[in-house]
Amino acid sequence: MLRDIDINEISDGKRYTKDDLVCMGCNDCDGCHKCCTGMGDSITLDPYDIYELTKGLNQSVESLLSNALELGVVDGIIQPHIKMQGKSNQCSFLSESGRCNIHSFRPGFCRLFPLGRIYDDGSFTYFHQINECPYPNKYKVKIKPWLGIPNLKEYEQYIIDWHFFLKDMQNFINECNDENLVKTLNMLILNTFYLTAYTSDKDFYIQFYNRLNNIKQKLSI
Ligand code: SF4
Ligand code: SF4
């Protein structure tokens, strides 16, 4: 999601890479679930999140969209996000005891928090949103184990490729005056990367890049 903010106001002013230490350790959240509540539509899901969720829960994306997820528009592009619900306006996957029911395959946004990403020059660095997590006695942890994502190098390259593909699409949509074309493009992206089921026992990245190459061919980009 594009945000119009001064990064120095919300961060410690530093940029980090996956092997750096950041002072954000929170003792496995220690009973807190603040960032699983009242998040609105901000927990946007990327294709890897959908692959992980459909595989981990053994449910189709359509089934997930009928309860735990919903569609929204992020910078002009239709994408799924986690639904907040109930009196306490909490994540659909938060248990009654305040723990994440899908911890081992939780979305990238949840793994990242309270880190964010800044994209620059065809790549990105991490930054620490210092006011987001109220845990009082934070300690230093390395980003790589904090994220806990296998093949992190491959994942980071995929995040870059996905981000810049979306950015190209957003730029096109922002300049396009043809509503039907914008709708058609949105449906193509939604169907290609989200609604068409991934094969859970096949490598995600092979499936993703096949789809990315196909759509780029279709769009001649
Ligand atoms: S706000 Fe911090 S301590 Fe609370 S659940 Fe989120 S990461 Fe954990
Ligand atoms: S998926 Fe898990 S970690 Fe993420 S907001 Fe929901 S309960 Fe919290």
Q: Quote the pLDDT of residue 6.
A: 77
With respect to residue 44, please indicate whether it lies within any of the assigned structural domains: yes
User: How far is 186 from 61, CA to CA, in rounded Å?
Assistant: 17
> What H or E segment, with its residue span, contains residue 214?
helix 204-219
Q: Quote the pLDDT of residue 46.
A: 98
> Which ligand 2 atom lies nearest to the CA of residue 106?
1
With respect to residue 31, please indicate whether it lies within any of the assigned structural domains: yes
Q: Quote the pLDDT of residue 1.
A: 63
Find the ligand nearest to 31 CA: 1
Q: Residue 89 — φ and ψ, nearest 5°?
A: 55, 55
Which residue range is the domain that position 180 belongs to? 7-219
Query: Coil, helix or strand for 126?
Result: strand
User: How far is 9 from 157, CA to CA, in rounded Å?
Assistant: 28
With respect to residue 132, please indicate whether it lies within any of the assigned structural domains: yes
Residues whose beta carbon lies within 6 Å of some atom of ligand 2: 36, 43, 82, 91, 93-94, 100, 102, 106-107, 110
From the CB of residue 178, how many other CB atoms can be counted at a distance below 10 Å?
A: 9
- CA 15 / ligand 2 centre spacing (Å): 25
Listed residue (144, 162, 148, 126) closest to 48, CA to CA: 162
- Contacts of 107 by beta carbon, 8 Å cutoff, 6+ apart: 43, 45, 46, 49, 52, 53, 82
Task: Extract the residue ranges of the chain whose pLDDT is less than 50.
Answer: none
- CA 114 / ligand 1 centre spacing (Å): 8
Q: In angstroms, how far is CA 152 from the centroid of its own chain?
A: 15
- CA 199 / ligand 1 centre spacing (Å): 33
CA-CA distances (angstroms) from residue 145 to 18, 22, 148, 154? 9, 11, 5, 15
From the CB of residue 109, how many other CB atoms can be counted at a distance below 10 Å?
A: 19
pTM for the full predicted model: 0.96
> Which ligand 1 atom lies nearest to the CA of residue 135?
3
- Into how many domains does the chain fold? 1
From the CB of residue 1, how many other CB atoms can be counted at a distance below 10 Å?
A: 12
With respect to residue 202, please indicate whether it lies within any of the assigned structural domains: yes
Q: State the angle between helix axes of 179-190 and 204-219 in degrees (0 to 180), rounded to the nearest 10.
A: 160
Q: Quote the pLDDT of residue 147.
A: 98
Amino acid 33 reads H
With respect to residue 1, please indicate whether it lies within any of the assigned structural domains: no
Listed residue (35, 38, 37, 44) closest to 132, CA to CA: 35
Query: Coil, helix or strand for 14?
Result: coil
Q: Quote the pLDDT of residue 173.
A: 97
With respect to residue 2, please indicate whether it lies within any of the assigned structural domains: no
Residue 5 — left, alpha, or beta (φ > 0 → left; ψ -120 to 50 → alpha)? Answer: beta
- CA 55 / ligand 2 centre spacing (Å): 17
With respect to residue 120, please indicate whether it lies within any of the assigned structural domains: yes
User: How far is 187 from 194, CA to CA, in rounded Å?
Assistant: 10
With respect to residue 34, please indicate whether it lies within any of the assigned structural domains: yes
Find the ligand nearest to 43 CA: 2
Q: Quote the pLDDT of residue 3.
A: 61
Over residues 116-153, the pLDDT tens digits come to 999 999 999 999 999 999 999 999 999 999 999 999 99
